[in-house]
Structure 1
Amino acid sequence: MDFTRTEPARGSQTCGYQMQVGSWQNDGHRFCADRKARGKYFCNERHQEVLDTYGEIRMAPGNAIGK
């Protein structure tokens, strides 16, 4: 799993799931930098994590689906 500290564009093919919001070490935010899974808003791992946690996925307009 790769990560980036800058949020990817919503229309990109990068997952972008926010995995960390700051921390006590103050090393900042972390976003998943894996490629979106085909037909999903996130990579396979994050997609399943969201479903397990929230039961559904609702995204704002402008978010790309994996190709």
Structure 2
Amino acid sequence: MPRILNREPDRGGQVCGYQIQVGGWHNDGQKFCGEPKAAGRYFCQEHHDWVLDECGEIRMAPGNAIGR
């Protein structure tokens, strides 16, 4: 079971933070991926692969850390 966070983690940290839910039926708010970032990636490996498949590239604002 993947780790789920109820608030966005620090973008400069080593937690994926990909937003996996916006709002919800039961007003349970936003949900973010709490898995560690993959080495050399902005997200965990699962979300890195998903973004590449959907968008073809990953562009991030300055201040977003890359996984170690």
**TM-score, normalising length: structure 2:** 0.95
Unaligned runs of 5+ in 1: none
Partner in structure 2 of residue 55 of structure 1: 56
After TM superposition, the structure 1 = structure 2 runs for residues 1-67 of structure 1, keeping only pairs within 5 Å, are 1-67=2-68
**TM-score, normalising length: structure 1:** 0.97
1:23 to partner: Cα distance: 1.1
State, as a whole percentage, how many aligned pairs show the same letter: 61
Q: How many residues were matched structurally?
A: 67
Unaligned runs of 5+ in 2: none
Instruction: Give secondary structure in 1 for the equivalent of 2:20.
Output: strand
